[in-house]
A and B are shown apart, each in its own frame.
Chain A
């Protein structure tokens, strides 16, 4: 089966458990099981090639320019891990079916599990390190979901967060490390990287890359000092612990160290860092595990310890060490997963995992007793079980490893850790299963159904088989070791056997086992010493660090982000000014290439009006109505300026936009206070004025120098002028650019405009459905209302003028391609025509005659424009390619038909819809404020005659 399919199967399959949820728990588990089985079978079809020593590859270029390709690779190492992930996955799924309670959402659980499984398989099969990183982060995320699966438990949520923080940070570090590695080699393909050992190790960037990658590996594989998250992750349901935290995810870091072994190992840095971390983790984990009373915590720390053991073996950098590591990965996965499942069974049946409350279970749960005992003895390193073999190899390797010039250090600590390892294994057996039957179990323990005990029982089979006949595992381990070494070293000749003669490792083993027994006998005094000893609590340190980070972030953010908009604006303005000043002083100014154009009295008159209106606006802005008039003058003068400087389209647009903007602001001013009070001190105003004047001078200087110089590169405008008629079929170049050359831009812009209008609509809806509604209804108009709600002159005039304005709009629209005009301007003109009806005849009257809702008009506009663009696909052209032709219908002159016109229709509709929806939303607020206005527009408001105007709650139309 294709490697792509093997990786994709769990991801695709992740959709199924959710769908099968209502079909029942067994169906849900079965479909998950089937998906995993299919992936496993697919993996096994590649076994012959792997056995033949080939590397199976599959490749799709994804983003080749970034070196990111979807490349998968299957060699012995990848096969070994993938088989472990999928094989143990099968057992876990079967076990989880029996383990999860009826109230647990099984579909959710299995979806997460399959996501995790897919991500893990992705890691071990990736050939591209960037792809590997993607999968790596996916395992962090999916394990977060799995650890926090029991959302109602605070421990679960905290554990999940902690795991995500630690592994996620490690993942970030690893991304940096991998990128450095890719930079050194010049390729992100693992197969290429693995062949460049010298290039990488000679690079000055080797040490940073190594440190960052190891940070990722150590956090993931819970190495000291990042080991603390693993025990807290034990709040997860036991199937998760058994799967993620013994067999798979925590081995991802180890996998990566093994994968990178040929290029990263063998240097003093690697040796010191990895071996030391492994040795410390192994020792610390073993010691802490012995004193844990929670069965799963004991197993968690023992896992930490065994991961340390494997890390240490990889750290030695010898071929024998690597082989021992691989062998121990296999052995540990079998006995530890079996132990976790047994712990889960005990928890499930006895309703407690506290070792102090257990004991004597061998009579009550004989099957579980046998399984757990075999697995625990293997963990202790008892002969004829697989744990013994790899532990012997570890001890053997330890005797040859010299760290910090102290020959006794590594063997001594290894023996010490093995001693504790034997002790906690024995403790698990004695304190849980042996002893007298108690009568105070929280529930009556008994052996569970086969669904729960069969999966661990299956795992115990290889524990015994490999333990008795190690030569069975030898070819597999050597095959994998060959791929780990990657030609950097020869696969060791050593045979796997139980009896190696009277070697030092044997004596160390004997010391460890008997020492462990003695330690267990002295457990009570040892526990008292342990409990009395002061030791740092990792969780508290972690939380203190997080709290410090949060406090720091809060301090930084609150000092600049204090809720004062004026401050942000001032900071932004000053920063932009400072940057501009820096650019000005450090850059060079070329000579002016353009001559000043002569000015004219008309231009000066316009300038004076603009300046006067702006100045007036600044000084008189406290009177808001006056300010509105003044800003209208400014907009008008800008429009006139556009006319003056040969931009008729712009002038028309600016002018019409000005009209709707003023109407909009008037509608808003209806509610807002009519004046702005004086609040800021004179000093503050002087400061603001200084900033403003500096900004104005800067903008002026920039414009001034810019206007006198030609652009450095030739402008692309010539192209547009030359091709407007030939290619776009229109003589109004601005319009052709809008609907043709840069049609995609325009398409995006009408969508933005539509979204803005919908946003306004949504805000209005929110306001009207909240407490604001009551306030609006109780509001009394501050200004005297007009007596004549709908002045007859205005009503008549607007209705008469409506068809004329519409015709002007359509005329402007149709001529747009060749003369000033087009969809934007026509849309604004038509909007104004409609707004006039609202203003003159009232909201109800106009709304009643509204045939299409404005949302629909916006949607239709975007749709028309989009479909026009898609239309060009049917003639195998890119999106939004226009076509045009000239037709002649006898009585008329020849005229042009272009698909761009359809696109412009879309623009037109969007603009009408967006403008009208915005204004209508504002009016709706106003309408709610007063009593209902009349259905008859030309009425006279009688309340005006009865009551004096001041304070009368009278009617008003909008």
Chain B
């Protein structure tokens, strides 16, 4: 079971990094989302994988899963939504402003900047 989770984290990370290195905004956003899943699952798993022992206190039950990583990941999920929304907005604004959704500065953009610097 541990191997499944660890390999899932690895695959999510690999996919995330690959998409993060793409040149357009949309795949980069998808890549960041994949990385977010990977990080959240990793944090969650740091508590130890437990099946059938929810952190809901019931009289007579002694074993529970670790609740702390769950609480941390819960807020992380919500915050990551907020952050994704901001990035998407920035990407959208950049595209609408320049009709170009490259994440890298394009050569023609560099020319006026160099003039400003002098």
Contacts and interface: CB of A to CB of B under 8 A. Distances in A.
Contact of A753 (B15, B49, B79): B79
Nearest to A613: B15
A617 B46 CA distance: 26
Contacts of B28: 565
Q: Which of B8, B49, B55, B93 has the most CB of A within 10 A?
A: B55
A621 B30 contact: yes
A708 B38 CA distance: 18
Given A631-B30, A665-B88, A766-B93, 15 more contacts: A563-B109, A624-B26, A634-B12, A645-B51, A649-B74, A657-B80, A664-B88, A680-B23, A692-B13, A692-B18, A697-B14, A707-B5, A716-B68, A721-B57, A770-B97
A646 B73 CA distance: 14
A696 B57 contact: no
Give the bracket for the number of chain A residues in contact with chain B.
35 or more
Contacts of A737: 67-68, 71
A704 B3 contact: yes
B96 to A, nearest CB: 5
Contacts of B16: 692
B78 A911 contact: yes
Given A563-B105, A631-B33, A704-B2, A720 B49 contact: no
B18 to A, nearest CB: 4
Given A566-B21, A646-B54, A699 B42 contact: yes
Contacts of A28: none
Contacts of B93: 763, 766-767, 772
A572 to B, nearest CB: 9
Q: Which of B25, B52, B70 has the most CB of A within 10 A?
A: B70
A671 interface: yes
Contacts of B15: 614-615, 617-618, 692, 696
> Across chains A and B, which 7 residue pairs bring their CB atoms closest together, nearest first?
A696-B14, A700-B10, A563-B105, A756-B82, A692-B18, A704-B6, A699-B13
A501 interface: no
A749 B67 contact: no
Contact of A650 (B1, B6, B21, B44): B44
28 contacts: A563-B104, A597-B51, A599-B1, A611-B8, A642-B44, A645-B50, A647-B54, A647-B55, A657-B80, A671-B92, A672-B26, A676-B24, A689-B18, A693-B14, A695-B14, A696-B11, A697-B10, A700-B13, A706-B46, A708-B2, A717-B66, A720-B68, A749-B78, A760-B86, A767-B93, A772-B96, A819-B56, A921-B89
B82 A820 contact: no
B2 A618 contact: no
A599 B45 CA distance: 16
A644 B2 contact: no
B71 A692 contact: no
B116 to A, nearest CB: 12
Interface stretch (A139-147, A254-262, A602-610): A602-610
Nearest to B106: A563
A824 B74 CA distance: 8
Contacts of B52: 646
B101 to A, nearest CB: 6
Nearest to A704: B6
A716 B67 CA distance: 10
A745 B2 contact: no
Contact of A696 (B5, B10, B40, B65): B10
Contacts of B46: 706
Interface string A549-574: 00000100000001111110110010
A867 to B, nearest CB: 21
Given A763-B93, A772-B96, A700 B55 contact: no
Interface in A772-803: 772, 775-776
Give the bracket for the number of chain B residues in contact with chain A.
35 or more
B83 to A, nearest CB: 6
Interface in B92-118: 92-93, 95-97, 99, 101, 103-105, 109-110, 117
Contact of A631 (B13, B34, B41, B58): B34
Contacts of B12: 610, 614, 634, 696
A603 B105 CA distance: 44
B84 A695 contact: no
Interface string A494-512: 0000000000000000000
A611 B12 CA distance: 8
Interface of A: 554, 562-567, 569-570, 573, 594, 596-600, 603-604, 607, 610-611, 614-615, 617-618, 621, 624, 627, 631, 634-635, 638, 641-642, 644-650, 653-654, 657, 660-661, 664-665, 668-669, 671-673, 676-677, 679-680, 688-689, 691-693, 695-704, 706-708, 715-717, 720-721, 724-725, 731-734, 737-738, 742, 745-746, 749, 752-753, 756-757, 759-760, 763-764, 766-767, 770-772, 775-776, 818-820, 824, 828, 911, 914-915, 918, 921-922, 925
A654 B89 CA distance: 21
Contacts of B58: 731
Contact of B57 (A692, A733, A914): A733
Interface SS of A by simple majority:
helix
A668 B88 contact: yes
Nearest to B73: A650
A702 to B, nearest CB: 8
Contacts of B101: 672-673
A603 B109 CA distance: 50
A566 B103 contact: yes
B6 A647 contact: no
Nearest to B64: A721
Nearest to A655: B77
Q: Which of B45, B57, B81, B110 has the most CB of A within 10 A?
A: B81
A565 B21 CA distance: 8
Contact of A721 (B29, B49, B55): B55
Nearest to A739: B71
Contacts of B42: 699, 702-703, 706
B105 A597 contact: no
Contacts of B48: 594, 707
A914 B82 contact: yes
Contact of A688 (B8, B21, B67): B21
A645 B54 CA distance: 8
Contacts of B84: 661, 664
Nearest to B69: A717
Nearest to B33: A631
Contacts of A654: 40, 77
A612 to B, nearest CB: 10
Contacts of B47: 717
A733 B63 CA distance: 13
Contacts of B27: 621, 627, 676
Nearest to B7: A700
B89 to A, nearest CB: 5
A820 B67 CA distance: 12
A509 B38 CA distance: 83
A684 to B, nearest CB: 9
A646 B53 contact: yes
B4 to A, nearest CB: 5
B34 to A, nearest CB: 7
Contact of A700 (B6, B51, B92, B117): B6
Given A700-B6, A763-B93, A634 B17 contact: no
A680 B22 CA distance: 8
B57 A725 contact: yes
Contacts of A702: 42
